[in-house]
Structure 1
Amino acid sequence: MLRIVLSAFLSLSALLALPTAAHARLQCVTYARSVSDVQISGNARDWWGNAAGVYARGQQPSEGAVLAFRGTQAMPYGHVAVVSKIIDARHVLIDHANWSGPGLVERGVMAVDVSEAGDWSNVRVWYGPSRSLGIRQSPTFGFIYPAGSVGGASKLARR
């Protein structure tokens, strides 16, 4: 019994030591809505289309913007992540859920633009289990910008 408790404690301690993991378990859509000023419903793959005429969209990262991923065979419902920091033109940090593990929330993880055109249409994202960028390239639509995000404060900046 002591061995089981010790093993559980060590596993929990290892998880708590990870600086990028929060402990809530959410889907990416629920998480993105809760930490950004982009309030869209539907599956992640539908956010880009649902944002048309409601939010500005584009190919350049901006803090507080939502990066919308296309649906693929590996992720049929798509994915959404919130940009928390711009490192340079091809590297950003994102906050998202349900990528490295079911329902796992990760904050401040790397996303890299690997598109030939430098337009963020294809990215690689930090994958926790490998402790490195994932090997899979994931196609995206682009960024959905919160209303009034130019010069305005977003939820991300206030938390």
Structure 2
Amino acid sequence: MLKLTRLLLMLVLACCTAPAIAEDDDGLQCVPYARQVSGIQIYGDAHTWWGQAAGRYERGSVPQVGAVMAFRPHGIMTLGHVAAVSKIVDSRTVLIRHSNWSTINGRRGQIEDDVAVVDVSQANDWSEVRVWYTPIGGLGTTHYPLAGFIYKGKAPKQPKRIERPLFQVAAAAPAPRRPKPLAPTPAAAPAPRADPIGDLISSLGS
């Protein structure tokens, strides 16, 4: 009976001393950290944030300090990823704050503040990026697709998108001019045929 009482007491103490917000074995996930540092109140898996933001928050393709950078699922990153922009370095580089990206000291779920993300899209529209990866001390080689940026306040001015038709019909080339027909060459007069019999008769009659 005494052992049972002690066991129950230990369970009660364990429950009372547990953290208010439990974390899983991977540590702090990207979603609660992005929500905390950006103030954007969206819940659910990272890949759902872009769709959830429609009608609630302004969205766009231009980075802004405080905006959430929303990653699309890619490869083994099936749930997507979210991060908060902390600084604009130039038109191709920003710093972000995020969690559960790099493996640090053998553990996932680590917070990283002010690490680089570089736009590697051909159109400089932030549709594809490379992200700092701490274990190698530099940018990773993978190109990750972005859905865009979610803004807590007013969105910055967005570039105009040029809508191009899926199929572009080339203008018809002008038909080649037909050469004017050449005037017919007048036929040469037929050469008189030799008539030795007629010549002989003519000479006899003279």
- 1:127 positional shift: 0.2
- How far, CA to CA, are the matches of 1:109 and 1:74 in structure 2? 22
Match of 1:135 in 2: 141
Match of 1:80 among 69, 79, 82: 82
Distance 1:37 1:147 in 2: 10
Match of 1:109 in 2: 115
> Where does structure 1 differ by over 2 angstroms across 4 or more consecutive aligned residues?
147-150
Residue 151 of structure 2 corresponds to residue 145 of structure 1: yes
User: d(CA) in 2 for partners of 1:30 and 1:48?
Assistant: 15
The alpha carbon displacement at 1:149 in A equals 7.0
The whole-number CA distance in structure 2 between the counterparts of 1:115 and 1:71 is 17
State TM-score, norm by structure 1. 0.76
Structure 1, unmatched stretches of 5+, are 1-24, 151-159
Give 1 or 2: higher strand fraction.
Answer: 1
RMSD of aligned Cα (Å): 1.2
Listed as ranges, the gaps of 5+ residues in structure 2 are: 1-26, 157-206
Identity of aligned residues (%): 56
RCO (CA 8 Å, sep 6+): is it higher in 1 or 2?
1
Aligned length: 126
Q: State which structure, 1 or 2, has the greater radius of gyration over its C-alpha atoms.
A: 2
SS state of the match for residue 148, structure 2? strand
1:37–1:147 CA contact under 8 A, matched in 2 = no
Q: CA deviation at 1:132?
A: 0.5
